[in-house]
C-alpha cells in the first residue's frame, strides 16, 4: 500500500463560545479564544490517501483530482471565512482544531474515488495540530 | 475515524553521553563526539499527542489551558537551560540519550488526567527524531 499526501493552506477567523456557559465560564474555559469578535489563523491542511497504485496510471489517486477536491470542499468553504458564521457544517460546534479537522474528514471521505482517506492533519499553527485517522491505522504511519 | 491533538513545545539543554558501566575507551568508541567531557547542547522540540473523546461542550480533547501549564511544570521547567546529566535526577543514573529523554518525558506526562498521552516525539535536531508511545 502507498500513501500520498497533498498540502493546502487556508486562512480563517473563529472564536470559542458555548451559549450554555455563562460569560464567566466562557472566559474561564476558552480564555483569549472567547473574544466574540474572533481572531484568525493561517491553517495548513495535509490530506493523506492510502491505496494501491492503478497499474494503468501508476497513481493511487490523481493528485490533480485531489487538488480539485480540496479546493472545492475545503478552500472554497473555509478560506477567508469566519468559521463560526459562514460554514454550515460547523453550526452548533465549537470550531476547535479537533472539530474543524473532523468536519474536513467528513467532507472529504465520500469524495475520494480511488484509495481511501487515511489521515487529515490540520495545523492551526506550527505548534498545534489535530489528526483524524482511519480507525484501523491509528498513529502507525 | 479517531482524533488526536498534538502540541509542540521547545526546550534547550546540554547533555553528555557517557555510561559509568563502560571503560573510557568504550565510551569514546560508542558515543564518539557526544562523549566529549564538558557536554554539548541542542534545541529540542517535543511533540505531545493526546487522545480521547472530544467534549461536545468545549470541542476539545483537553483544554490547552490545562495541558500547557502541566507540560511547562513537569517538563519544560525541569529541562530548559539545564545540564540533563546533573540537573535532572533521573539522568544521574541513566544516559540522557534522546531515547531515554523521550521515555522520561512520557513517564512524567502520563499523570495528565484530562486525556491519554498517546505519543511523545522529540526532535533532537532537524535531522533526528525519536518517538515513544508507552509500548
Q: What is the pLDDT of residue A129?
A: 98
Q: Which band of pLDDT confidence, cut at 50, 70 and 90, is reported for residue A118? A: very high
Is the Cβ of A133 closer than 8 Å to some Cβ of chain B? yes
Interface of B with A (CB under 8 A): 1-9, 49, 54, 57-61, 63-65, 118-119, 133
Return the pLDDT at A135.
82
pLDDT of residue B84: 98
- How far is it, in rounded angstroms, from Cα A66 to Cα A50? 12
The pLDDT, as a whole number, for residue A136 is 67
pLDDT at position A139 is: 46
A105 CB within 8 Å of a chain B CB: yes
Give B117 to chain A, closest Cα distance, Å.
12
Confidence of residue A137 (pLDDT cuts 50, 70, 90): low
The predicted structure's pLDDT at residue B103 = 97
Would you state the pLDDT for residue B41? Answer: 96
Name the active-site residue from A14, A73, A97, A124. Answer: A124
Distance CA(B18)–CA(B97), nearest Å, equals 9
Q: Catalytic residue, from A9, A52, A76, A80: name it.
A: A80
pLDDT above 70 covers a percentage of chain A that reads: 96
Secondary structure of chain A in HEC code, one letter for each residue: CEEEEEEEEEEEEECCCCCCCCHHHHHHHHHHHHCCCCEEEEEEEEEEEEECCCCCCCCCCCHHHHHHHHHHHHHHHHCCEEHHHHCHHHCCCCCCHHHHHHHHHHHHHHHCCCCEEEEEEEEEECCEEEEEECCCCCCCC
Using the structure block, give the residue that is written with the C-alpha cell 472530544.
B54
The confidence band for A111, taking pLDDT boundaries of 50, 70 and 90, is: very high
Q: How many other CB atoms are there within 10 angstroms of residue A101's CB atom?
A: 27
Q: Is the dihedral of CA A15, B48, A5, A44 positive or negative?
A: positive
Question: Do A135 and B2 make contact, defined as CB atoms within 8 angstroms?
Answer: yes
Report, as an integer, the average pLDDT of A106-114. Answer: 97
| CA triple B54-B76-B133, angle to 5 deg | 50
Q: Are A104 and A87 in contact (CB under 8 A)?
A: no
Find the length of chain B: 135
**pLDDT over threshold 80, residue A140:** no
* A33 annotated active-site: yes
The pLDDT, as a whole number, for residue A141 is 37
pLDDT in tens, B23-82: 999 999 999 999 999 999 999 999 999 999 999 999 999 999 999 999 999 999 999 999
Q: Please answer whether residues B82 and B88 qualify as being in contact, where contact means their C-beta atoms are separated by less than 8 angstroms.
A: yes
Q: Give the contacts of B9 (CB within 8 A, at least 6 positions apart).
A: A127, B45, B46, B47, B48, B71, B72, B75, B76
Q: Is the CB of A128 less than 8 angstroms away from the CB of B133?
A: no
pTM: 0.93
Is residue A43 classed exposed, middle or buried when 0-12, 13-18 and 19+ CB atoms within 10 A define those classes? Answer: buried
Instruction: Give the 3-state DSSP-derived string for chain B, with helices as H, strands as E and coil as C.
Output: CEEEEEEEEEEEEEECCCCCCCCHHHHHHHHHHHHCCCCEEEEEEEEEEEECCCECCCCECCCHHHHHHHHHHHHHHHHCCEEHHHHCHHHHCCCCCHHHHHHHHHHHHCCCCCCEEEEEEEECCCCCEEEECCC
Tens digit of pLDDT for each residue in A18-74? 999 999 999 999 999 999 999 999 999 999 999 999 999 999 999 999 999 999 999
| Closest chain B CA to residue A118 | B1
Contact call for A139 and B49, based on CB within 8 A? yes
Total number of residues shown for chain A: 141
Residue A138 has pLDDT above 90, yes or no: no
The answer to whether the Cβ–Cβ distance between A139 and B54 falls below 8 Å is: no
Distance CA B51, CA A129 (A): 12
Angle at A98 (CA atoms; ends A97, A102), nearest 5 degrees = 115
B54 → chain A, closest CA residue:
A98
Amino acid at each position: 500500500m502507498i500513501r500520498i499526501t497533498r498540502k493546502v493552506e487556508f486562512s480563517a477567523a473563529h472564536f470559542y463560545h458555548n451559549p450554555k456557559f455563562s460569560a464567566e465560564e466562557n472566559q474561564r474555559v476558552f480564555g483569549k479564544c472567547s473574544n466574540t469578535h474572533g481572531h484568525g489563523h493561517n491553517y495548513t491542511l495535509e490530506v493523506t490517501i492510502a491505496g494501491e497504485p492503478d497499474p494503468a496510471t501508476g497513481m493511487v489517486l490523481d493528485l490533480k483530482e485531489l487538488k480539485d477536491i480540496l479546493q472545492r470542499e475545503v478552500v472554497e468553504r473555509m478560506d477567508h471565512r469566519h468559521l463560526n458564521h459562514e460554514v454550515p457544517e460547523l453550526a452548533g460546534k465549537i470550531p476547535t482544531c479537533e472539530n474543524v479537522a473532523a468536519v474536513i474528514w467528513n467532507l472529504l471521505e465520500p469524495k475520494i474515488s480511488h484509495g481511501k482517506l487515511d489521515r487529515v492533519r490540520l495545523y492551526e499553527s506550527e505548534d498545534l495540530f489535530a489528526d483524524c485517522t482511519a480507525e484501523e491505522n491509528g498513529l502507525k504511519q | 475515524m479517531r482524533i488526536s491533538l498534538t502540541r509542540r513545545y521547545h526546550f534547550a539543554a546540554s547533555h553528555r553521553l557517557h555510561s559509568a558501566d563502560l571503560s573510557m575507551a568504550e565510551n569514546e568508541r560508542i558515543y564518539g563526539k557526544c562523549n566529549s567531557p564538558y557536554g554539548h547542547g541542542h534545541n529540542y522540540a517535543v511533540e505531545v499527542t493526546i487522545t480521547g473523546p472530544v467534549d461536545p461542550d468545549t470541542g476539545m480533547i483537553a483544554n490547552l489551558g490545562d495541558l500547557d501549564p502541566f507540560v511547562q511544570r513537569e517538563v519544560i521547567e525541569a529541562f530548559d537551560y539545564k545540564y540533563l546529566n546533573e540537573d535532572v535526577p533521573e539522568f544521574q543514573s541513566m544516559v540522557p540519550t534522546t531515547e531515554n529523554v523521550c521515555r522520561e518525558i512520557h513517564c512524567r506526562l502520563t499523570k495528565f488526567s484530562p486525556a491519554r498521552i498517546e505519543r511523545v516525539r522529540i526532535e533532537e535536531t532537524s535531522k533526528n527524531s525519536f518517538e515513544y508511545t508507552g509500548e
